[in-house]
Structure formats: structure tokens, C-alpha cells
Amino acid sequence: MGNPVIIEAVPGTNYADLTREFDAPVEALFRAHADAGLYATWIGPRALETEITRWDFRSGGGYGFEQRDTAGQSFGFRGVFHTIVDNELIIQTFEYLGALNEVSLDRMRFEALPGGRSRLAGRSVFTSAEALEAMIASGMEYGVREGYEKLDELLAR
């Protein structure tokens, strides 16, 4: 379903690049990242429900959210929004609270494409190659893919 997500991580490096195109204007794609209520509907795999615990979407702001599975197991995340440029750029940290003392720095560029389409181009830089490998092993690709499929559904509405 939808457009494929491309995640490229060169073995031995500490960063991964992500590219995904969307059949929606860049403004709608950016808003789905900026609005807490919208973000909660699409972030992560389908099997998890998301609750936003903190949302201050501005340069210097921050966020937190918790995801729960049907058995009640909980996964917490938080970060800082370092730079926000409307409809163009988000630079933020990302921290999974289950991996203490590990954080990534994420850059997401929002690009308008012809025909009312858009592209998200991102880079996540981890503290080490091992930290990146652990994130990939934890199911990062699966969660990103399913989340973006849910985002496609949201953008189509």
C-alpha cells in the first residue's frame, strides 16, 4: 500500500537516511507532524495506541508520547524540537525511554513535488553504530513503514 519507505543505513556508520513520498501537499504532510492530535493517529505500528504526554511544537520546544499494546505494555518516547521551519524542516532529538542514555538527532526535510505531492527526506544520527543497529533490530523499519501507511490514510481523508 502507498509509497515505499526507503531506509538506508551503511553498516559500521552511526546514521540512517530515510526517504518517503506522499500523495499529498507538503503543507498537509508537515501539519501531520506538527499537530499533536494528528501525530498521535499515525505514529508507529498499527498494534500500538499512542498518547501524547507533552507537545510544544516550536524551536526549543519538546515532546513526549507513550505507546501501548493490547496487553498493556507501554513504550515511552521523548525529545526536543531544536529547529522548526514551517513546511520545510524539523530538527529534533528522539529518545526511546527503554534504551537509557541513547538519543538520536533527526533531521526531516519536507519537499514539495509536482502534482500536489511531497517528499520527506530524513537523517537520524545515533551515538554509535551499535545504537543504530539496536534500533534497527528493535523493528524500526516495521514501525516506520506501518506508521507511514497510516499517515497515507490520514492524508487521504
pLDDT tens across 54-77, in order? 999 999 999 999 999 999 999 999
Per mean pLDDT, which range of 19-23, 119-123, 127-131 is the poorest?
127-131
Whether pLDDT at 124 is above 70:
yes
Question: Residue 1 pLDDT more than 80?
Answer: no
Average pLDDT on 133-148 reads 89
pLDDT at 5 > cutoff 80: yes
pLDDT surpassing 70 at residue 157 = yes
Average pLDDT value for the chain: 95
- As a whole-number percent, the residues of the chain with pLDDT over 90 amount to 85
> What secondary structure does DSSP assign to the chain, as a single string?
--SPPEEEE-TTSSEEEEEEEESS-HHHHHHHHH-HHHHHHHSS-TT-EEEEEEE--STT-EEEEEEE-TT--EEEEEEEEEEEETTTEEEEEEEETTSTT--EEEEEEEEEEGGGEEEEEEEEE-SSHHHHHHHHHTTHHHHHHHHHHHHHHHHH-
For the whole model, what pTM was predicted? 0.94
Whether the per-residue pLDDT at 2 is higher than 80: the answer is no
